[in-house]
């Protein structure tokens, strides 16, 4: 790797850091609801980058990714709520949630090792639904998940005595719950970005890419495709599990409804729309696909009033319509995604003749 800490890049990083730190307070002026939306955007960045390991790096089409998110969310909900009367610490729950999701990833991965493309997509889709239906029905004979009612009063994230929910005065300035979560989420997102970047340019990352490009050739040069595919599933799932835990703590409530197929599709759309396998693209996809529907939700009503003097179409239904159209257009005109990996051009290295 080149020496990237030049004065220019340091200034750039500082600028981004200041912008990231100020963002929740600027957005907070428009209302805490927008900070919450911002938080979800970052949570989806985290999820999309987790899925990017499976879909973008290893090329395994996974339509059931939300199942791992659900496993992580329920792990947190069960271990930190009055439902079982347990209130464990985050340092115990997050690793447990991630491990459960990781095991779920291996359980899903092992029977699907020989499947590719469409066939793999169908099996993973089924797996995602199985998990959701389990969560829906595991309230009898023993009440584990509380069924469709979900689990309420989940503990927020807290470090020692410092809770991330509710207002806390910091230097006499009230900082809201979502604003505090924002910083946790940004820290996690930066972590997952670094891990993604490092994996991509490593021995493992190259082997994944080789499997994606040509599985038979990958085997012929001695790559153990079975273990590496399982590794991709396990890693992607672990990130999903961590995101799920934070989601449960942030919302204070989980129910199986949050983990439907459309959620898996959305996360996959973020990866594909942004630019599969290209980390900045995936981040862009996740942010756009979270912010855009919300912006439409708030924007469609007033625009109609302005144009026609009254509201003709329900914003909720129009939202999905516009959203779907946007997806079709992007795939038609930028099939590689909004921000695909640039074709690496040959660089004239000094040493090469």
Residue 31 C-beta: closest distance to another protein, Å? 38
CB nearer to another protein: pick between 207 and 270 = 207
CB 314 within 8 A of CB 348: no
Residue 344 C-beta: closest distance to another protein, Å? 6
In the chain, the N- to C-terminal Cα span, in Å, equals 22
CB nearer to another protein: pick between 59 and 274 = 59
CB nearer to another protein: pick between 150 and 274 = 274
Residue 345 C-beta: closest distance to another protein, Å? 7
Residue 202 C-beta: closest distance to another protein, Å? 3
CB nearer to another protein: pick between 8 and 345 = 345
Residue 198 C-beta: closest distance to another protein, Å? 5
CB nearer to another protein: pick between 29 and 347 = 347
CB nearer to another protein: pick between 198 and 305 = 198
Residue 265 C-beta: closest distance to another protein, Å? 25
Residues at the site binding another protein, with contacts judged by CB under 8 A: 195, 198-199, 202-207, 209-210, 213-214, 216-225, 231, 235, 343-347, 349, 352-353
């Amino acid at each position: 790797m080149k020496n990237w800490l030049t004065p220019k890049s340091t200034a750039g990083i500082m600028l981004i850091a200041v912008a990231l730190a100020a963002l929740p307070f600027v957005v907070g002026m428009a209302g805490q609801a927008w900070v919450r939306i911002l938080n979800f955007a970052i949570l989806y960045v985290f999820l999309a980058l987790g899925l990017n390991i499976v879909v973008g790096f290893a090329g395994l089409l996974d339509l059931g990714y939300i199942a791992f998110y659900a496993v992580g969310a329920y792990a947190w909900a069960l271990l930190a709520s009055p439902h079982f009367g347990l209130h464990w610490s985050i340092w115990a729950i997050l690793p447990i949630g991630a491990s459960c999701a990781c095991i779920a990833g291996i359980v899903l991965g092992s029977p699907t090792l020989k499947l590719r493309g469409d066939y793999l997509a169908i099996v993973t889709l089924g797996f995602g639904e199985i998990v959701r239906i389990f969560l829906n029905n595991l309230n009898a004979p023993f009440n584990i998940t509380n069924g469709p009612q979900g689990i309420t009063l989940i503990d927020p994230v807290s470090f020692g005595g410092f809770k991330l929910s509710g207002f806390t005065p910091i230097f006499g300035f009230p900082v809201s719950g979502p604003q505090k979560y924002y910083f946790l989420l940004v820290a996690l997102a930066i972590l997952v970005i670094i891990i993604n970047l490092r994996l991509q340019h490593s021995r493992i990352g190259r082997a994944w890419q080789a499997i994606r490009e040509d599985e038979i050739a990958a085997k012929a040069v001695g790559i153990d495709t079975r273990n590496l595919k399982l590794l991709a599933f396990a890693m992607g799932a672990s990130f999903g599990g961590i995101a799920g835990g934070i989601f449960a703590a942030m919302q204070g409530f989980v129910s199986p409804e949050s983990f439907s197929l459309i959620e898996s599709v959305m996360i996959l759309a973020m990866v594909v729309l942004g630019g599969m396998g290209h980390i900045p693209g995936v981040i862009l996809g996740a942010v756009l696909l979270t912010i855009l529907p919300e912006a439409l939700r708030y924007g469609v009503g007033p625009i109609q009033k302005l144009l026609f003097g009254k509201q003709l179409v329900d914003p909720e239904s129009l939202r999905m319509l516009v959203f779907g159209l946007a997806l079709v257009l992007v795939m038609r005109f930028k099939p590689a995604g909004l921000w695909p990996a640039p074709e690496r051009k040959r660089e004239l290295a000094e040493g090469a003749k």
